[in-house]
């Protein structure tokens, strides 16, 4: 059992989300970095759709009310115990009763010059990013709303009426008292976090290319963009040389990954809590294999895009899911994880 001492910038519970309710105005929600969530859940022996804490940027402090096994994954947000011991990502840690976990914020040479620069595992590249995932033994207990434990504030869905977690909130493992798995580490060589490799994010062209000036996609791909501070779980605003904006179109449905071009020419890339319908032309969509990297972008980050075919995007998605299955096998995970499926959903 963990109690929130300080929620930090934003602390929510996220699982694989509630896809399939877009017709009712409900976004899929779920983890912004689905790979990070899946990693934490696999290490914690949670089921494929299990819930984890999504820690954003940092400032979060959690207290263990009883000793528990804690699986960390996603970005390295500088987690450490109050005795100063670092809690590396992609490892299961013992957090003794009474001690606190503090997420000080991203560390590493690139993020904080002169920072600790701790590798996740010997030789493993640093996972830089905005979001860390914390799972407890068997997952995080709690009731589902509309088939999911994910917090979605605008719709009042998820635990605590959908609001972000606040001081005093308590999170219990599904298997209380289970301290198994301490020291278990993610097979980094089999399945490195997508954010450990660089390169531009893919964009699958469409569906509104025809409603935008010719060359818009090339203009997006030819620019370097900066993630604006006005970004959240709904979407990422990109700052840079504005594109020639398009006229508004008749609103159509939307999905996470959609790259909208508003009339002001400053693109918005939708994330897990993004709107389900909208009237800005969508120049293209970041494919599912790149959502983990998209979800790890932090304000101030530079980001570039490259057009990718749907077939290439799907090949990357399949490769990514196959790596998750390999990791599950290496960890001896529940058979549910061994099936090639959308495990990184949400």
Is there binding between residue 132 and other proteins (CB under 8 A)? no
- Of 20 and 109, which has the nearer Cβ to other proteins? 20
179, 234, 307, 329: residue in contact with other proteins (rule CB under 8 A): 234
The nearest distance, CB 238 to other proteins, in angstroms, is: 11
Is there binding between residue 57 and other proteins (CB under 8 A)? no
CB 4 within 8 A of CB 102: no
Rounded CA separation 225/284 (Å)? 16
Other C-beta atoms closer than 10 Å to the C-beta of 257 total 23
Q: Pick out residues in 85-104 that bind other proteins (CB under 8 A).
A: none
Q: Pick out residues in 306-325 that bind other proteins (CB under 8 A).
A: 310, 313-314, 317-318, 321
Binding mask of the shown chain, residues 275 to 294, with x at each position contacting other proteins by CB under 8 A: xxxxx--x-xxxxxx-----
Is there binding between residue 300 and other proteins (CB under 8 A)? no
Is there binding between residue 257 and other proteins (CB under 8 A)? yes
Q: Pick out residues in 327-346 that bind other proteins (CB under 8 A).
A: 340-342
171, 191, 258, 344: residue in contact with other proteins (rule CB under 8 A): 258
Is there binding between residue 117 and other proteins (CB under 8 A)? no
- Of 213 and 263, which has the nearer Cβ to other proteins? 263
- Of 42 and 204, which has the nearer Cβ to other proteins? 204
Is there binding between residue 232 and other proteins (CB under 8 A)? yes
Binding mask of the shown chain, residues 179 to 218, with x at each position contacting other proteins by CB under 8 A: -------------------------xxxxx----------
The nearest distance, CB 224 to other proteins, in angstroms, is: 21
- Of 109 and 156, which has the nearer Cβ to other proteins? 156
The alpha carbon torsion through 330, 335, 341, 346 (nearest 10 deg) reads -90
Q: Residues 6 or more apart from 75 whose CB is under 8 A from it?
A: 33, 36, 89, 106, 127, 128, 129, 130, 131, 132, 195, 296
The nearest distance, CB 70 to other proteins, in angstroms, is: 30
| Alpha-carbon distance values, 163 to 13, 52, 155, 175, 232 (Å) | 10, 16, 10, 25, 14
Other C-beta atoms closer than 10 Å to the C-beta of 152 total 25
CB 160 within 8 A of CB 30: no
Closest CA to 232 of 168, 288, 154: 154
Q: Is 199 exposed, middle or buried (0-12, 13-18, 19+ CB in 10 A)?
A: exposed
Q: Give the pair of three-digit tokens for residue 227.
A: 């993630």
- Of 51 and 289, which has the nearer Cβ to other proteins? 289
Using CB under 8 A, list all residues that contact other proteins: 19-26, 145-146, 154-157, 204-208, 230-232, 234-235, 237, 248-255, 257-258, 268, 274-279, 282, 284-289, 310, 313-314, 317-318, 321, 340-342
């Amino acid at each position: 059992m963990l109690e929130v001492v300080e929620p930090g910038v934003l602390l929510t519970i996220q699982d694989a989300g509630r896809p399939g309710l877009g017709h009712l105005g409900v976004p899929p929600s779920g983890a912004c970095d689905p790979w990070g969530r899946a990693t934490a859940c696999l290490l914690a022996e949670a089921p494929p759709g299990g819930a984890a804490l999504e820690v954003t940027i940092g400032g979060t402090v959690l207290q263990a009310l009883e000793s528990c096994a804690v699986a960390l994954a996603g970005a390295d947000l500088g987690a450490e115990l109050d005795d100063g011991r670092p809690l590396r990502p992609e490892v299961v840690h013992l957090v003794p009763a009474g001690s606190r976990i503090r997420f000080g914020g991203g560390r590493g040479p690139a993020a904080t010059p002169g920072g600790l620069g701790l590798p996740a595992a010997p030789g493993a590249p640093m996972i830089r990013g905005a979001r860390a995932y914390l799972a407890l033994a068997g997952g995080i207990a709690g009731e589902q709303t509309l088939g999911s434990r994910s917090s979605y504030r605008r719709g009042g869905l998820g635990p605590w009426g959908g609001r972000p977690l606040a001081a005093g909130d308590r999170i219990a493992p599904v298997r209380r008292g289970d301290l198994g798995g301490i020291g278990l580490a993610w097979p980094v060589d089999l399945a490195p976090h997508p954010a450990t490799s660089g390169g531009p994010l893919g964009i699958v062209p469409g569906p509104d290319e025809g409603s935008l000036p010719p060359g818009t996609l090339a203009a997006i791909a030819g620019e370097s963009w900066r993630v604006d501070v006005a970004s959240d779980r709904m979407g990422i605003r990109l700052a840079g040389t504005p594109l020639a904006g398009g006229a508004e179109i008749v609103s159509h449905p939307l999905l996470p990954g959609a790259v909208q071009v508003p009339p002001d020419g400053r693109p918005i890339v939708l994330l897990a809590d993004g709107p389900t319908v909208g009237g800005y032309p969508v120049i293209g969509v970041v494919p599912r294999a790149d959502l983990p990297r998209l979800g790890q972008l932090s304000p101030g980050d530079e980001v570039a895009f490259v057009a990718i075919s749907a077939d290439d995007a799907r090949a990357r998605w399949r490769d990514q899911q196959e790596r998750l299955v390999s990791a599950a096998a290496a960890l001896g995970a529940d058979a549910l994880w061994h099936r090639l499926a959308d495990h990184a959903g949400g």
